[in-house]
A and B are shown apart, each in its own frame.
Chain A
Amino acid sequence: MVYTLLFPSSWFYGKRIERSRLSDEVSLWPLPQQFQTSPVAFKLSASRFKIVHAPGSTAGPSCSLLQNAFRRYFKYIFGYVNEQGQPRSRVFDSELRELQVLITSTDPECDAYPSLKTDESCKPSSRVFVVLGLETFSQLVYEDDYGVNNINKTSILDYPRFSHRGILLDTSRHYLPLKVILANLEVMAMNKFNVFHWHIVDDSSFPFLSRTFPNLSQQGAYHPYTHVYTPVDVKSVIEFARMRGIRVIAEFDTPGHTQSWGKGQTDLLTPCYSGSSPSGTFGPVNPILNSTYDFMTSFFKEISSVFADAYIHLGGDEVDFSCWKSNPDIQKFMEQQGFGQDYSKLESYYIQRLLDIVSSTKKGYMVWQEVFDNEVKLKGDTVVEVWKMNMVEEELQNVTGAGFTTILSAPWYLDYISYGQDWKNYYKVEPLSFNGTPEQKKLVIGGEACLWGEYVDATNLTPRLWPRASAVAERLWSDENVKDIGSAYSRLEKHRCHMVRRGIPAEPLFVGHCGHEYSGL
């Protein structure tokens, strides 16, 4: 899990530069694990600079993932100055003409999907990290006063602190057009996030077009044609993400948060009762019917083939028992099963059966913390996502104490907004500050910034997410000792201008300006 950036061919190790000096010219975000740079600068010419496969690299021009990344980053580096025309005849002595990309692992994995395993394998220079290294390289390039691209003599050795660095987007409470999702994958790559947690359906709407159960979106989406994700859309999201080394983990949250499912699938939800008659409203998934499990079997069979990642997120959060309690059939079932009045046992019963179904599809699963809290029997490779703000450390201690891997999202609910620089709070979080053995700490594989959709849609998503999520990105990527807020501020300010320059409406941190302001209005 290492990529290295070394250039140019003649090595020069200057003294490790001071932070302020660095931030005058470039902003590296998230900060690499190790870097050395010197004031010696090289110029880059759009007409001569090339990104090429190094001799001896196991990847070549047939690796379309890399070819695409080369082009993308060439454009990021030179896209803005192209029109001005570079002098073609003059060659500077101090010119950097080539970035050689060397893949040393035997299998460059050009056509594979990124996975948790990719990260853990620690293969040096696997292709995902080449993409990340290109991002770092592009951040090292800066424009001097004459508008010429420069890069300083630098050497970098880099790898992530955590292997799961996610962003959750919620496409149920508001539908997000495809291009908004793609744009955010692009920004995720700029911040070295590597997991897109797609909270695709929920109470409010069901935009996922299922081939097996087309009625789910036909009836449950905000609009059956304009507010859905077709299989082609989903495929393009996954491929776009793959090109950037990003996993796509879909979440199909049950048994709660399923109001929209009920519209297109009769008898799936529990009818709530008012006294002795049905009230006309519905509660969580009905856990006592065999038809429910037949449905889930077919449904997750489809999901497991549509989404390539080895993991599926099964939700399991915030189940409201009042409707189950009101329903006489459920009461009877509770009695038969000997659950007494403990409805969390019914919830566990449901989840258990669901987990068995999903296990049979050969997928691993992620769940929200309640599933663990309710003592459902989980497979060893289950990832438990901790989202409740109270007693976070105890929860991390318990989950890892029980031997489960976990990711943290509780401190990073970015949909909660407030006046001022709240990115600092996200930045200061230390995921491993809980009491536990080194083995327990290793089970924390990362975290996620969540942008729930109550108040967010295409109109405000990007500026609300960025650069606030960038704070989380550095916490999850960089060394734990990288925590100086002052240094972070000056680098993040530049990094946000970087994103703005690339056409991303990332909001400002505070008073000030960017050389190139957002003009996409």
Chain B
Amino acid sequence: MALKMFQAQIKLLRFLFLLIVIYGEVEHVYGVWPMPQQITQSTERYLLNPRVFALSYANDSMAQSGCSVLDVAFKRYFKLIFPDFAHGTGRDKSLRFEPFTLVVSVRTGGCEGYPDEGSNESYNLTVSARQAALRAESVWGALRGLESFSQLVYQDDSSAYFVNKTEIEDYPRFQFRGLLLDTSRHYLPVNSILSTLDAMAYSKFNVFHWHIVDDPSFPYQSSTYPDLSNKGAFHPMTHIYTQSDVRRVIAHARLRGIRVLPEFDSPGHTLSWGKGQPDFLTPCYKGDVPSGSFGPLNPTLSSSYQFMSDLFKEVTSVFHDSHVHLGGDEVDFTCWKSNPKVQAFMAKMGFGSDYTKLESYYMENILNITAALNKISIVWQDVFDYHEHIPKDTVLEIWRGTPAEIRAELGRITLAGHRVLLSAPWYLNHISYGQDWRNAYTVQPQNFSGTEQQKELVIGGEVCMWGEYVDATNLVSRLWPRACAAAERLWSNEKKTSSVERAFPRLKDFRCTLVRRGIQAEPLFFGHCKHEYSGL
């Protein structure tokens, strides 16, 4: 019966969207996704020819030829701007074309650095006859501007390229716009990660949160503790990330202005660690004897802290980012409770039977370890919920709750002066029939009761693609274009992007752009792209 109603609803939806589609085709959109802060476009348009199109550095730019990030970006964006060019479908040479130059000017250098918290991503773009001027504070802003320019260029029916006269003034609403991939529940080949980074750049995401290890497997090949992946990966040779794989991911991300934030989640979610690190997990007891199974990391042994200290020493030198994610979520106390040594430790420390105090004790130690390594920690909200003594600069990430609970948690965390990230509404591994991107789009991250200062402590959010049901076979189509909804929420002005209906034709268009670029982005609803996905 419920299904019948469901089917009736679908029928109604089919009808409604037919109207929308027709409307969308009448008013053609050559939009930029995510929506720039300020954009004005006129109907005046300029013909572009790849043979007489150039990307160049302005004379006053601090970045000049030799700037690694932008040199590579010029090459990359030339291909994205002229997708046909490689196929040699150039137009008749006898036609005369006005040369067109996109001149890039960057106020500060930093071409060899890594994007990080505080990187300035703002840019201005002016497209006029024969020239477009892109001005940015940093190379990272220039990358965002190049992306916007590439989305402004379109092809008419005769495949000629055009760009309209345009003015853009743009900057992100939130400095942290992340996407989480889980490489533990399923191993993701490096190519899957790299192509996700490509698509992230198209949507102006800037943080790749790499949930690299968890209970099911430990694919990170540690140079300090090679047994972790030797014994804890699904396979010690084929299902691991070597140091050079990790470097490749970081380099690929850097060139796209994307930070790589590694997460080594503890003390829970560590079953796979135990295989390669003896005496690391808590042995669970059944009555007086060990049951043979293991629980969270053993917080009573000093060897645990020594190990974590060594591991994080390695991790923080391999990953460049100023932040590291320490997890701290979903710790199950039953195993700790069963273990007589843990019980003795609790008594010794005066924790009574409050195991959150034990967890708290552990997290404090770990936070001190990373602080000593000059890294700022990000942890899941659980750590805030149970522990009072955490450093002020620790960032909390909200991952669960009803909308009302999330608003309350945002209020509490920011009231305590912590910066906060929102990911609860963007668990994209949860799927359902229909256009669920609409829910992701209408999230209001700063809609909670609190002062202006509190609101500013919301530094952004993350799309999470947990791996229970996701691997290389379905990752891309499940992620895109659904993640784009969150991308616009995190980049654009909320008032200007409040209408889902106005977003629909733009996102439909952007999805076809992604498909054209080889990203296997799934359809929003029935319809077609001029260039359909041609892989399998």
Contacts and interface: CB of A to CB of B under 8 A. Distances in A.
Given A389-B3, A515-B235, A177 B528 contact: no
A517 B471 contact: yes
Given A510-B468, A520-B536, A418 B432 contact: yes
B533 A223 contact: no
A507 B473 contact: yes
A122 interface: no
Contact of B4 (A177, A227, A390, A512): A390
A227 B471 CA distance: 30
B526 A454 contact: yes
Given A388-B4, A390-B4, A456-B523, A513 B473 contact: no
A182 to B, nearest CB: 10
Interface stretch (A267-275, A303-311, A457-465): A457-465
Given A175-B532, A513-B234, A415 B468 contact: no
Given A417-B432, A418-B432, A500 B523 contact: no
B533 A518 contact: no
Nearest to B192: A521
Interface in B139-173: none
B534 A177 contact: yes
Most chain-B CB neighbours within 10 Å: which of A174, A415, A456?
A174
Interface residues of A, number: 53
A520 B195 CA distance: 12
B4 A173 contact: no
B111 interface: no
Contacts of B122: none
Contact of B533 (A459, A509, A512): A459
B185 interface: yes
Indicate the size class of the contact surface on chain B.
35 or more
Contacts of A517: 187, 189, 238-239, 471-472
Given A390-B1, A390-B3, A420 B469 contact: yes
B374 to A, nearest CB: 35
Interface string B8-37: 001100100010000000000000000000
Nearest to A457: B523
> For chain A, what secondary structure do more than half of its interface residues adopt (helix, strand, loop), or is it mixed?
loop
Interface stretch (B361-369, B406-414, B499-507, B514-522): B514-522
A230 to B, nearest CB: 16
Central interface residue in A226, A389, A464, A511, by most chain B CB within 10 Å: A511
Interface string A253-271: 0000000000000000000
Contact of B527 (A204, A389, A390): A204
B477 to A, nearest CB: 4
B197 to A, nearest CB: 13
A362 interface: no
Most chain A C-beta atoms within 10 Å of own C-beta, residue among B3, B430, B536: B536
Contact of A508 (B1, B191, B433, B471): B471
Contacts of B185: 511
B203 interface: no
- B431, B471, B515, B520 — most chain A CB neighbours (10 Å): B471
B383 interface: no
A183 B7 CA distance: 30
Contact of B216 (A459, A504, A511): A511
A460 B536 CA distance: 9
Nearest to B5: A390
Given A175-B528, A453-B526, A508-B473, A418 B536 contact: no
A487 to B, nearest CB: 21
A205 interface: yes
Residue of B239, B430, B526 with highest tally of chain A CB at under 10 A: B526
B4 A389 contact: yes
B189 A457 contact: no
Interface in A162-189: 173-175, 177, 179-180, 183
Residue from the set A183, A390, A504, A521 with the largest chain B CB neighbour count within 10 Å: A521
A458 B534 contact: yes
B525 interface: yes
B1 A463 contact: no
Given A508-B469, A513-B217, A222 B528 contact: yes
Contacts of A389: 3-4, 7
B50 interface: no
A505 interface: yes
Contacts of A205: 528
Interface string A182-226: 010000000000000000000111000000000000000011001
Contact of B433 (A418, A453, A515, A518): A418
A455 B431 contact: no
B110 interface: no
A508 B470 contact: yes
5 closest A-B pairs by beta carbon, nearest first, are: A173-B526, A460-B477, A463-B474, A505-B473, A222-B528
Given A459-B533, A510-B468, A512-B234, 18 more contacts: A222-B528, A227-B528, A417-B431, A419-B430, A454-B14, A454-B526, A457-B522, A457-B532, A458-B536, A459-B521, A459-B522, A460-B474, A460-B477, A508-B471, A511-B216, A511-B468, A517-B471, A521-B191
19 contacts: A173-B526, A174-B523, A390-B4, A418-B433, A454-B14, A455-B523, A455-B524, A458-B535, A459-B521, A506-B473, A507-B473, A508-B186, A508-B473, A511-B186, A513-B239, A520-B535, A520-B536, A521-B191, A521-B476
Interface of B: 1, 3-4, 7, 10-11, 14, 18, 185-187, 189, 191-192, 195, 216-217, 234-235, 238-239, 429-434, 467-474, 476-478, 515, 520-528, 530, 532-536
